[in-house]
Structure 1
Amino acid sequence: MVNQMRAAIVKVFSTKHSLTLPAAALNYIEQVLQENEIPDDEWIVGLEFWAREYLKGEDSSSLVSLPALKKAYESLQLGTNEDSQTADPSEINVESHFSVIDSFDMPPVHFDPVRGGFTTSKTKPSVAGSAAARSAFLRERWGIIKEIILRNENFTPPAIGGHDRSNYLKLTSTRNLLGRAGQLFLLFGMLARDPEGRLCLEDGDGRVVLDMQDAVPGEGLFTEGCMVLVEGEYTIDETVRVLAMGHPPSEKRDVARGLHGHVDFLGGGAMSLKEEQKYIPTILANTQVSFVILSDVWLDHPRCLPALKKLFEGYAEAVEYRPMAFVLCGNFCQKGWEGEGGLKRYTNGFNALTDLLLSFPLLHSSHFIFVPGPLDPWSSTTLPRPAIPPAFSSRLTQRIPRARFVSNPCRLRYFGMELVICREDLMGKMVRNLVGVKKDEGEVDMKRYLVQTILDQTHLSPLPISIRPTLWEYDHSLRLYPMPSAVVLADKYERYELTYEGCHVFNPGRFVGSGGEGGGEFEWSMYYPATGRSERSALTLDQ
């Protein structure tokens, strides 16, 4: 029987489709046929469908790889290919399509300006970072956004010449300004300071000093380190008198995925836009799947653990609607780990949390994800921030089967969706370092401006490294390109939720800090992948 099965596999894959099957791939095909008890008279038909589906994949080659073979098999299970009927989405195991990605595990994907695409470096990134990486990550960010701008319809010249050909927007390099005083130009570059402390614009060719006296900023927050479009007049003093300044246009997720669907940005395997769309019926059918997200879970606060107990009791009683994941963001102590008794407070806090979670075995099927805050050990001013050390987390991870301590930021992947979680007091840092902001007649919506800024900048921290240091060779983990499905900006700022260019961004608010001091409400957010939206949740403790 085994020899007949192997002969059928070789006949279809090797003889008919000229594919080379390694031992691992051959064993996997045999295993699938045996586990599904496929009759021998249906082997050839089933294998033919499988081989065709494999050849449709973007990562297919003559030497069959096991991941691509498994991906083709999953696609056949979904039944969304051209040759089969649609399968029941409720039969798909959603747990197998959920993963947590640590920033330090993401592949080092770099932008190649010559090819206009991305490549994965074979060299592992270093925390120290080389001298070349100090400027390379800024050039990459500038190059990515410039490509987005040039693809925008307002910057693309018509294919056929005519009157409209002269109406599209044209970018000018700082190198081409000399000798052209009195003319208007549109420039793209990064806001920075020259050695004399003057505000200037830097691009790939040089820098020019900006005169902001007559500038009219557009919507968003403008700080040093932001990539901006500047329209102004070049003067005889070799400065640009800025007339208007704005953020670059953003690019929606489906557009970017259509261009770079073959790139593995997260490390879990590349997924094309076509393949991502196959999972949409399954996502929509599983409306009960949710993620619970809390921020500022102060374990040393006397009312935090009672509030968590009441929260866990509520979710444990909901038999059919238990969350897939609980995401707990720091800070996990009110005053951080430094100072007298700081380490002991952390140890006692996580030990008490472990005992609390052990009393809810019904929730152990959920994932528990812990993201460090700015004051958590070991405190550092750089992003990404490593996970909380095992000295505090080992007892919890050993007792709770699906508990995981990850970096800040981190990412959750659910089928083709991507949820970015960042615990950073970003609003305060952006406001303190403003270069300009649009002056509306009414009240400025700072929350919308912040969301628009980070998504237009395709980065979680569009600030200079002198203000917000980053690990140079891990800057790719802070990148928001392609645009995620959702972003959690866990901040001590007031909670909010809004959607910009199809990306849902929300701040869950402070769990303890929102009302724990006076016994008020404890608030958090629930995110539902089926709707792509979040909802506010809250509870109160009896006095």
Structure 2
Amino acid sequence: MVNRLRAAVVKVFSAKHSLTLPTAALNYIEQVLQENDVPEEEWSTGLELWAREYLKGEESSSLVSLPALKKAYEILQLGVNDNDDMLDPSEVNIETHFSVVDAFDMPAVHFEAVRGGFTTSKNTPSLAGQASSRAAFLRERWGIIKEIILRNENFTPPAIAGHDRDNYLKLTSTRNLLGRVGQLFLLFGMLSRDPEGRLCLEDGEGRVRLDMDDAVPGEGMFTEGCMVLIEGEYTIDETIRVLAMGHPPSEKREVARSLHGHVDFLGGGAISLKEEQKFLPTVAVNTQVSFVVLSDVWLDHPRCLPALRKMFEGYAESVEFRPMAFVFCGNFSQKGWETEEGLKRYSNGFNALTDLLVSFPLLQSSHFIFVPGPLDPWSSSTLPRPALPSLLSARLKQRLPNVHFVSNPCRIRYFGMELVICREDLMGRMVRNLVGVKDVKGADMKRYTILDQTHLSPLPLSVRPTLWEFDHALRLYPMPSALVLADKYERYELTYEGCHVFNPGRFVGGGGEGGEFEWSMYYPATGRSERMCVFVVLPHFNLRHFGLVDDVDVTLTMCMAWKGIDSVRKVLDRIFADC
């Protein structure tokens, strides 16, 4: 009987579907059939269903792996097929599909250029890092983007030779430039400086100096540390006379997920593209789910806590649109912690915030996420940054159930969606280290630079140091569903290749005795964000700069989602009409 069973397995898997069965896989199939007492006449039918389900999986290959084989068997046991794999949205508990990921908890996933895929390191990353890690993370970053370029339609000629093949682009390495003076080349590499301080292009095989006198930059900002495509002429001086420079093409999240859906980038288990699509109706139906994102929440500012109270009151009264998560990004003090009595201000501010949050029981089902800013303790110039210290977070964690003090950057996982949150004054650093820029809007410049570079910090280590062995936590590949770039730069929002990018703006407004406090709300169902704000008018607020009246004694007032000064005038007019 054993010989007949093995012959049936080989006939279906190997002869019919051209699959190679290792001994472990073959033994597992025989074990399952024998333990379940499957009749001999049903062997072929059951094995055929098993083989087809295996081939549908994200991890399927001609050499059958035991984990993928077991996963296919589990799916067959659950009775899920192509016709009923969509779940009933009303039966899904969305809380079980929500998680906050700290940068230091993410698995160390490394890119292997030889096989063009990702592997998870068995070694635990170190804060100090080995010397080999210094160059390894840059090679990985270069290798990932190069694979994206080579998959782009402009770089993939048809397999059949023809006249059209000459119209496709081809990359040349720096090593292949020697002896080819006067020819035009397209190169890909990182902008850097040689020991003499001259600008050069560096790839995995060498380095060449750049002559930027005739260069025409493309869209976006170009800084040292950026990976760029350069078209230019190789000169007798062994330099490239740059004619055009541009950012590499980006790759949509769906394309990257279809290639690497089996890789667990965030920890907690990989979600295949098939499983992700199964939850799309659930995400679309839950239109009330939202994430509130605030930046520069200065707890020691006299108007910050009153504004937060008004904001919480508005959400507590709104049953249908109560946010699932509140994301507070630093800095949490105006002057940082290193000044005189700095830690005391931080401690008093978080104690006051704790008392404020406890006074709203209706909001305690929400998640409260705290991301440190550049000046928060313990301030460090490296990325990623650890969470705020326990002396500030302990009391808040004791009083509220769903509090997360996480690193900068951090990530939110909601079903198959990924929201990256980074609090960094990035625009200023990039402007100070420009190599070239085209005259476009600031938000567009940052969008092209960050997403096309697949990295949160496309700057040299001398400008923005990073922890070498935690560079994978700064990676933006696969492209996230949304990216929060909390910056002291002005607020903006835009969508690029399906990724929604926005800066919530500074929560604490400008000068004066009153002011506007703005933030953003992100809706996963639509993949869009919305500007929200409160306007706080304190007693005896001087309103002359609005062109209205002198000092007027009015009560504390709030207006949400104001778009400009005209709306402010209308609300104040109503206040004065009642006075």
1:330 aligns with 2:325: no
Counterpart residue number, 1:385: 385
Q: Kindly provide the amino acid, as one letter, of the partner of residue 171 in structure 1.
A: L
2:376–2:388: 8 Å Cα contact kept in structure 1? yes
* Residue 159 of structure 1: how far off its partner (Å): 1.1
Q: 1:531 aligns with which of 518, 526, 549?
A: 526
* Residue 75 of structure 1: how far off its partner (Å): 8.0
* Residue 68 of structure 1: how far off its partner (Å): 5.6
1:487 aligns with 2:483: yes
1:425-484 Cα offsets, whole Å, 9 max, x none, are 011111111000124xxxx21111101111000000000000000000000000000000
| Residues 438 and 94 (structure 1), Cα distance of their counterparts in 2 relative to 1, 3 Å cut | same
2:86–2:278: 8 Å Cα contact kept in structure 1? no
1:355-381 Cα offsets, whole Å, 9 max, x none, are 111101111100000000000000000
Q: Kindly provide the amino acid, as one letter, of the partner of residue 467 in structure 2.
A: L
Gaps of 5+ in 2: 1-25, 37-48, 539-579
2:87–2:279: 8 Å Cα contact kept in structure 1? no
SS in 1 for 2:302: coil
Q: Kindly provide the amino acid, as one letter, of the partner of residue 464 in structure 1.
A: P
Q: Residues 460-539 of structure 1: matches in 2 within 5 Å? A: 460-512=456-508, 514-515=509-510, 518-539=513-534
Counterpart residue number, 2:320: 320
* Residue 419 of structure 1: how far off its partner (Å): 0.2
| Residues 51 and 300 (structure 1), Cα distance of their counterparts in 2 relative to 1, 3 Å cut | farther
1:284–1:531: 8 Å Cα contact kept in structure 2? yes
**In 1, Cα distance between equivalents of 2:303 and 2:78:** 48
1:508–1:523: 8 Å Cα contact kept in structure 2? yes
**In 1, Cα distance between equivalents of 2:102 and 2:83:** 38
Q: Relative to structure 2, which stretch is displaced further, 514-523 or 202-211?
A: 514-523
| Residues 189 and 71 (structure 1), Cα distance of their counterparts in 2 relative to 1, 3 Å cut | farther
Counterpart residue number, 1:102: 102
**In 2, Cα distance between equivalents of 1:86 and 1:244:** 48
Counterpart residue number, 2:117: 117
* Residue 318 of structure 1: how far off its partner (Å): 1.0
| Residues 361 and 74 (structure 1), Cα distance of their counterparts in 2 relative to 1, 3 Å cut | farther
**In 1, Cα distance between equivalents of 2:178 and 2:84:** 63
Counterpart residue number, 2:292: 292
* Residue 320 of structure 1: how far off its partner (Å): 2.3
Q: Kindly provide the amino acid, as one letter, of the partner of residue 523 in structure 1.
A: E
2:50–2:73: 8 Å Cα contact kept in structure 1? no
* Residue 54 of structure 1: how far off its partner (Å): 8.8
**In 2, Cα distance between equivalents of 1:260 and 1:384:** 24
* Residue 339 of structure 1: how far off its partner (Å): 1.5
**In 2, Cα distance between equivalents of 1:75 and 1:351:** 49
Counterpart residue number, 1:240: 240
**In 2, Cα distance between equivalents of 1:422 and 1:94:** 24
Counterpart residue number, 1:403: 403
Counterpart residue number, 1:190: 190
1:509–1:523: 8 Å Cα contact kept in structure 2? yes
Q: TM-score, normalised by structure 1?
A: 0.87
| Residues 15 and 192 (structure 1), Cα distance of their counterparts in 2 relative to 1, 3 Å cut | closer
Q: Quote the RMSD (CA, aligned, Å).
A: 2.6
Q: Residues 220-299 of structure 1: matches in 2 within 5 Å? A: 220-299=220-299
Counterpart residue number, 1:540: 535
* Residue 88 of structure 1: how far off its partner (Å): 2.3
Instruction: Give the count of matched residue pairs.
Output: 497
2:57–2:72: 8 Å Cα contact kept in structure 1? no
**In 2, Cα distance between equivalents of 1:129 and 1:151:** 32
1:19–1:62: 8 Å Cα contact kept in structure 2? no
1:50–1:72: 8 Å Cα contact kept in structure 2? no
Q: Which has the larger radius of gyration?
A: 2
SS in 2 for 1:132: helix
Counterpart residue number, 1:362: 362
* Residue 90 of structure 1: how far off its partner (Å): 2.1
Q: Kindly provide the amino acid, as one letter, of the partner of residue 299 in structure 1.
A: L
